[in-house]
Amino acid sequence: MKSNRLISWGIAEIFFVLSVLVAVTFAILSSEIAAKLQLSESDLGLLSGVFFITYALGQLVLGILLSYLPARMVLGVTALVAAAGTLLFSVSAGLNAALIARGLMGLGLSTTFVGVIYLVGRGYSSNFAFMSSLSQSLANVSASALAILSAFVPFLVDFRMPFQILGVLFLVTALLIFFLVGGEASGREPAARPSLVEAFKSSVQSVQFWAAVVYYCGLFGTLLAFADLWNIQFQMTFFKHSIQQSSVMNAMIPLGVTLGGLGAGWWAKKAGFVLPARIFALFTLFLFGILIFIPLPEGFAGVMMFLVGCGFSASTLGLTAIHAHLPPQSTALATSLAVTASCIFGGVIQPLVGSALAAPHRANEFLALIHAETPDFASYQRGLLWLMGSVAAAVAASFMFRPAPTEKPTQPGSAAPSRRPAA
């Protein structure tokens, strides 16, 4: 029934939104966490690294389990693990307990996005592009609202209370998942459970899968690197913005992702995902060309951050390509592989961008000659070149996409040739 699929998606979306709020809360309170737990900068980096590793591994392994176990079981158990992690973190007295807590949080939250995508594919197969974009947009608008609120209403004076509240919310969410997230949609036959080898072969033998991986990494992986590096502290240090200015500027990115994602999803629903995927990727590449060669005043920079967010928002169209072309039994594995690859890519490209920013200034290099009066701008440009190259790869991948076939293949490895739906 429609109400059942809406309830299932809504609860999974709450779980996803809470996972994003955990990440934003940790970022906002990182200085206060370091002070209360007597942590160094390297200790904070270690906490983030443990979270990232467990999140990435859990996303791959547990995401695959969605094809073999009931969604309520996978999501419900991981919501309990997330609750345990956040509650433990809220009472941590030092680094060791905090590391265990962050590991539990990473593992518990690793199913949030792949879980939402799985339920969207199961319940909203004909409207996958819009619903997946809506799912990401709701999470991003929640994150931007919290980021803006924290800059102007400094109510987060102790990190323990927010994480205690989040822990309780995860417990409530786990109960909702166990009791209300349903099985297969009404009237739909349960899909055959393929072997992992069959699902993997079906994925890696598909050109559309590889195009989707490159596209999703080129947009979402680049978004991760861009948002993490061009953060509030970076803007305060590099551009001399106040914390309020930097917070608003940073919030423009998820706001852009929110609006752009809804627009991309609506367009893909009306015209198919191929053309929107290409136009959004080309638009993002164009914006990076402006950012690299033109120093923008603050007001225009804020608009540009919003527009860049809009461009990045089309990343979910890469997952739409997976859903459109791979057999239903392989989509959970393929989605997990693509999403995990984007997280790894975002983590790998960050140090490359950081090295480019920290490289010594050379007066005779090409970029420095463009704006010789502002030599620091050349360092900024070198960092953006890595990101622009990643977006260019997404553009190339988008031209490998093909429209969804009229009938989706149902047997692993038996992908039907792509063809336009009949009029």
Q: Tell me: the pLDDT tens digits for 227-281?
A: 766 555 555 555 565 556 666 676 788 888 888 989 999 999 898 999 999 999 9
CATH number of the domain at 218, please: 1.20.1250.20
| pLDDT at 85 exceeding the cut of 90 | yes
Residue 190 lies in a domain: no
Res. 423: pLDDT tops 80: no
* pLDDT above 60: residue 57: yes
- The position carrying tokens 């033109």 is 294
Closest CA to 310 of 346, 276, 261, 368: 261
* Average pLDDT of the chain to the nearest whole number: 81
Percent of the chain whose pLDDT exceeds 70: 78
Domain shared by 171 and 200, yes or no: no
Task: Tell whether 318 and 220 lie within a shared domain.
Answer: yes
Q: Is residue 258 part of a domain?
A: yes
199 and 177 within one domain = no
Task: Provide mean pLDDT across the span 51-62.
Answer: 88
Is pLDDT above 70 for 285? yes
- pLDDT of amino acid 419: 36
Residues 39 and 81 in one domain: yes
| Same-domain check for residues 64 and 203 | no
Same domain, 32 and 90: yes
Domain boundary, last residue among 150, 183, 216:
183
Structure tokens at 34: 């370091």
CA distances from 72 to 22, 81, 167, 199, 261 (A): 22, 14, 19, 22, 27
By the 10 Å C-beta count (0-12 exposed, 13-18 middle, 19+ buried), 229 is classed as: middle
- Phi/psi for 173 (5° steps) reads -60, -40
Residue 169 resides in a domain? yes
Residues 72 and 104 in one domain: yes
Total count of domains within the chain: 2
Single-letter amino acid, residue 54: T
Domain identity same for 265 and 413: yes
Q: Worst-scoring range by mean pLDDT, 15-19, 68-72, 302-306, 369-373?
A: 369-373
For residues 233 and 84, membership in a common domain is answered with no
Same domain, 179 and 238: no
Please answer whether residues 200 and 333 qualify as being in contact, where contact means their C-beta atoms are separated by less than 8 angstroms. yes
Residue 391 lies inside a defined structural domain of this protein: yes
Residues 175 and 260 in one domain: no
Taking only the tens place, the pLDDT of each residue in 158-212 is 788 889 999 999 999 999 999 998 765 444 444 556 678 888 888 999 999 999 9
Range 143-149, long-range pairs (CB < 8 A, 24+ positions): 143/20, 143/21, 143/23, 143/24, 143/254, 144/251, 144/252, 144/253, 144/254, 144/255, 144/258, 146/21, 146/24, 146/25, 146/28, 147/24, 147/28, 147/247, 147/250, 147/251, 147/254, 148/247, 148/248, 148/251
The per-residue pLDDT for range 332-364, each reduced to its tens digit, is 889 999 999 988 888 788 777 777 766 665 544
**Per-residue pLDDT tens for 309-338?**
999 999 999 999 999 999 888 888 899 999
Tell whether the model's pLDDT for residue 32 goes beyond 90: no
The answer to whether residue 291 sits within a structural domain is yes
Quote the pLDDT of residue 360.
61
Residue 110's pLDDT is what? 93
In a domain, 413, yes or no: yes
Q: State which of 130, 148, 183 marks the end of a domain.
A: 183
Examine the domain organization and report whether 127 and 274 are in the same domain: no
- Residue 189 belongs to some domain of the structure: no
Compute the average pLDDT of residues 357-386: 59
Domain ends where: 141, 156, 183?
A: 183
- Could you give the CA distance from residue 24 to residue 21 in angstroms, rounded to a whole number? 5
In a domain, 225, yes or no: yes
**Of the candidates 135, 396, 161, 146, which has an alpha carbon nearest to the alpha carbon of residue 284?**
396
Per the structure, the complete domain to which residue 303 belongs is given by 195-423
